[in-house]
Structure 1
Amino acid sequence: MLVAIDHVQLAAPPGSEDALRAYYGNVLGLTEVPKPPVLAARGGCWFRAGAVRLHLGIEGDFRPARKAHPGLRVTDIEAYAARLAERGAPVTWDDNLPGHLRFYSVDPVGNRLEFLEAVKPSGPGA
C-alpha cells in the first residue's frame, strides 16, 4: 500500500548543478543532501526541508515541463514570496484555488514550482 511520497524528481540540463544549488539552497532555503556515490556520478543534486525531498536529475535532452510541477506547502506564504522575490526569483500569484493562497515560480532551468498555504476560514461558523 502507498503511504507517502518519498520524493519528487525534477529534471535539469547537464552542468546546471551550481545554479540549482544556488536556487534550491540559497533562494528556497532547502538543505542539500549528499547523494550515494554511485548516483552522484550521474550528476544532479538532492535537497530536503523537513519531510519535503526534491531530487534534481540530469537529463541530456532536457526541456522543462510546461504544466507539470510539484506543489509545495509553506507557512507565512507572503514572507516566503518576498524572500524569493528579494533573491531574484519570479513570483506569480494565482487566486484560483479556493481556500488557499498560492504563487508560482520557476527555477533557473525553467522547472515550474507551486507554493501554497491553506487560508483559515473566517466569518460566522468558521
Structure 2
Amino acid sequence: MLAALDHVQLAAPAGSEDLLRAYYLDVLGMTEVPKPPVLAAQGGCWFRAGAVHLHIGIEDNFRPARKAHPGLRVTDIDAYAERLEAGGAPVTWDHDLPGHRRFYSQDPVGNRLEFLEPMAAG
C-alpha cells in the first residue's frame, strides 16, 4: 500500500551542482540533505523543506523537464513569486486550476516547477 510520497527526482547536467545549490538553497529557501557516500560519488544534490524532498541527479545527455514537474504548495504565493523574481527566476502565472493560485518557474538548468496555493473558501 502507498503511504506517502518520499521524494521527487529531477535531473541536471554534470557540473551544475553549484548552480542548483544557489537556486534551491538561496532562492527557494530549502536546506541541503547530505547524500549517502555511495550516491554522493554520482554527483547531484538532495534538498528539503519540511516534508518536501527534492533529489537532483546527474544525467548524461540531460534535457530539462519542460512539461513534467513537481507541484510545490506554498504559503503567501505573492511573496514567494516576488522572492523567485528577486532571485532571477522567471515567474509565469497560470489561472486554469480552479480553487488555486499558481505559477510556473524554472530552475537554473531549465526544469519546470509549479508553485501553488489553495484559495480560501468563499
* TM value normalised by structure 2: 0.99
Residue matched to 1:65: 65
Residue matched to 1:104: 104
SS in 2 for 1:25: helix
Q: Deviations over 1:20-47 (max 9, x none)?
A: 0000000000000100000000000000
SS in 1 for 2:97: coil
1: distance between equivalents of 2:18 and 2:87?
A: 16
Q: How does 1:79-98 map to 2 (within 5 A)?
A: 79-98=79-98
SS in 2 for 1:23: helix
Q: How does 1:36-51 map to 2 (within 5 A)?
A: 36-51=36-51
Percent identity over the alignment is 79
Structure number with larger C-alpha Rg: 1
User: How far is the alpha carbon of 1:51 from its aligned partner?
Assistant: 0.3
SS in 1 for 2:114: strand
1: distance between equivalents of 2:34 and 2:103?
A: 29
Structure 1: gaps of 5 or more residues:
none
2: distance between equivalents of 1:60 and 1:18?
A: 18
2: distance between equivalents of 1:64 and 1:6?
A: 22
The one-letter amino acid of 2:91's match is: V
2: distance between equivalents of 1:105 and 1:65?
A: 12
Q: How does 1:105-120 map to 2 (within 5 A)?
A: 105-120=105-120
Moved over 3 A (4+): none
Structure 2: gaps of 5 or more residues:
none
Aligned length: 122
